[in-house]
Amino acid sequence: MKVLIIGATGHVGAAAVRALEGKHELIRVGRSTNPSVDLDDPATIEALFTEVGDVDAIICTAGHVPFKPVTELTREDFESGFYGKTLAQLDLVRIGLPHVREGGSITLTTGVTARAAIPTGSAAAMASGAIESFVMAAAGEMPRGIRINVASPTVLESATHFHDFFPGFPPASDEAVGNLYRRAVESIDNGTTYVLD
């Protein structure tokens, strides 16, 4: 299958790449790759699909949210989290859907903050929860047998600089996180959130 992985150079994206490489034709994309995409700019999503054409699967591991104590979060922070994590991925679904072949799949990414509280994680929880609810509701309306799912990992073992933000959360192996994406691409699941806490 031809699989487009957005955010392929990050920790989670690299784990997805390792789980799928050698099994599928991978197109690895980020802000500084060629081709490139900036999910904050829908025009670059359009340009990406003009360049790569139709695909069998889209994986998105990109997105950004502010991490601040809830008493310090401003309206602008919530907007930043919504645009940077939620709307960015939903734009990818909206723009990319016509370029996914019949029976293909789209996999979005949330995280453990959708299910468990961490200090400064309120905006991330909002953004991730919205994505998971969208996927649950949208799955039954996807055209041409296309499936849509969510990978929702916890912090990765290799992302050591994030460990202190998730106190008491056992880090997951890169292999375990990568396998969430392999399952999403190769299974028959639809509307599923794959959880790895």
Average pLDDT of the segment spanning 50-70? 97
Q: Is the pLDDT of residue 88 over 80?
A: yes
Q: Is the pLDDT of residue 100 over 80?
A: yes
Q: Tell me, which fold does domain 2-196 have in CATH?
A: Rossmann fold (3.40.50)
Whose structure tokens read 């991730």?
128
pLDDT at residue 17, rounded to an integer: 98
Q: Is the pLDDT of residue 18 over 90?
A: yes
Distant-in-sequence, close-in-space partners of 2: CB < 8 Å, separation ≥ 6: 24, 25, 27, 54, 55, 56, 57
Q: Is the pLDDT of residue 96 over 80?
A: yes
pLDDT at residue 132, rounded to an integer: 98
Average pLDDT of the segment spanning 91-104? 98
Average pLDDT of the segment spanning 135-147? 98
The DSSP string of 74-125 is -HHHHHHHIIIIIIHHHHHHHHHGGGEEEEEEEEEE--GGGTS--TT-HHHH
**Average pLDDT over the chain, rounded to an integer:** 96
- Please count the other Cβ atoms lying within 10 Å of the Cβ belonging to residue 70: 11
**pLDDT band of 165, cuts 50, 70, 90:** confident
**pLDDT band of 91, cuts 50, 70, 90:** very high
pLDDT at residue 197, rounded to an integer: 62
Q: Is the pLDDT of residue 140 over 90?
A: yes
